[in-house]
Amino acid sequence: MEHSKIKIGIVDDDLLFVQLLKNYIENNGDFQVLLTSTGGYHFLKEQDSASLDILILDLRMTNGDGLEVMAELAKKETETKIIVLSSFYRRSFMGQMLKMGAHAFLPKEIELEELLSVIKTVHHTGHYFSNDQINVMRTQLSNKLPEFHAFSRNELTEREIDVLRLVCEQLSTKEIADSLFISPKTVETHKTNLMIKTGVKNMAGLVIYAVQNKVIDPDEIVLFDK
């Protein structure tokens, strides 16, 4: 039985870049580009017409920048995962990107093959961090950042902490279920409860919460770098 393709949207004001990236992605059988746009405002008008798994989003655009797009999508609580792909990449922006709702933050200089790998990782696990980004996040996790949670670690159940640790290891819902001998539906319930208790909006936020509250050491987080 043929597996379903990962549905992609691309928003970037460089039309040539959009066309080339679309062609490259669609030459891989695992992906389908459903929507392209050369501006954030145009995308926000059109995005309800397509159900996207992944949105590849530029930051600096003349017709509605990436930050505006992320802010609007956060209001709609969409399930679409956002990969910010920008020539304006700075590792020091990593914390801000996560707070805005990005699931991965990448420079445009990334190898195309690696980009496809990151897309699969984000689709499968909900987020992607490189080694360099983990190191930067360690320095950014300070009291200067706003609190992400209303509950302390002690108020999470043992099972919720188990699920949180496995989320940080980038296991899928099914893999977590198999590891803990529970159903995938129960795993999703625990994830929902974790997000409610910690006050975060996505899986990336849960990872930050886990590091901030020493549920997991950053060195234990599984990375997918080549």
Tens digits of residue pLDDT in 110-137: 999 999 999 999 998 888 888 778 777 7
Mean pLDDT of the chain: 82
Q: How confident is the model at residue 65 (pLDDT cuts 50, 70, 90)?
A: confident
Q: How confident is the model at residue 10 (pLDDT cuts 50, 70, 90)?
A: very high
As a whole number, mean pLDDT of residues 173-191 equals: 89
- What was the pLDDT predicted at 22? 95
Of the two residues 82 and 79, the one the predictor is more confident about is 82
In sequence order, the β-bridge partners of residue 31 are 6
End-to-end C-alpha distance for the chain, whole angstroms: 30
Query: C-alpha distances in angstroms, 142 versus 99, 137, 147?
Result: 14, 9, 10
* Residue 221 in this model has a pLDDT that exceeds 70: no
Q: Which amino acid appears at position 93 of this protein? A: F
In 3-state terms, what secondary structure has residue 93?
A: helix
- The four Cα atoms 191, 192, 198, 202 give a dihedral, to 10 degrees, of 80
As a whole number, mean pLDDT of residues 3-27 equals: 92
- Dig out the tokens for 29 from the structure: 């059988």
DSSP 223: -
- What was the pLDDT predicted at 184? 87
* Residue 20 in this model has a pLDDT that exceeds 70: yes
- What was the pLDDT predicted at 200? 79
* Residue 66 in this model has a pLDDT that exceeds 60: yes
In sequence order, the β-bridge partners of residue 55 are 9, 82
3-7, 50-54, 115-119, 207-211: which is most confident: 115-119
- The values of phi and psi at residue 193, to 5°, are -60, -40
As a whole number, mean pLDDT of residues 164-180 equals: 89
* Residue 159 in this model has a pLDDT that exceeds 70: yes
- What was the pLDDT predicted at 145? 46
Min mean pLDDT across 39-53, 82-96, 139-153 is at 139-153
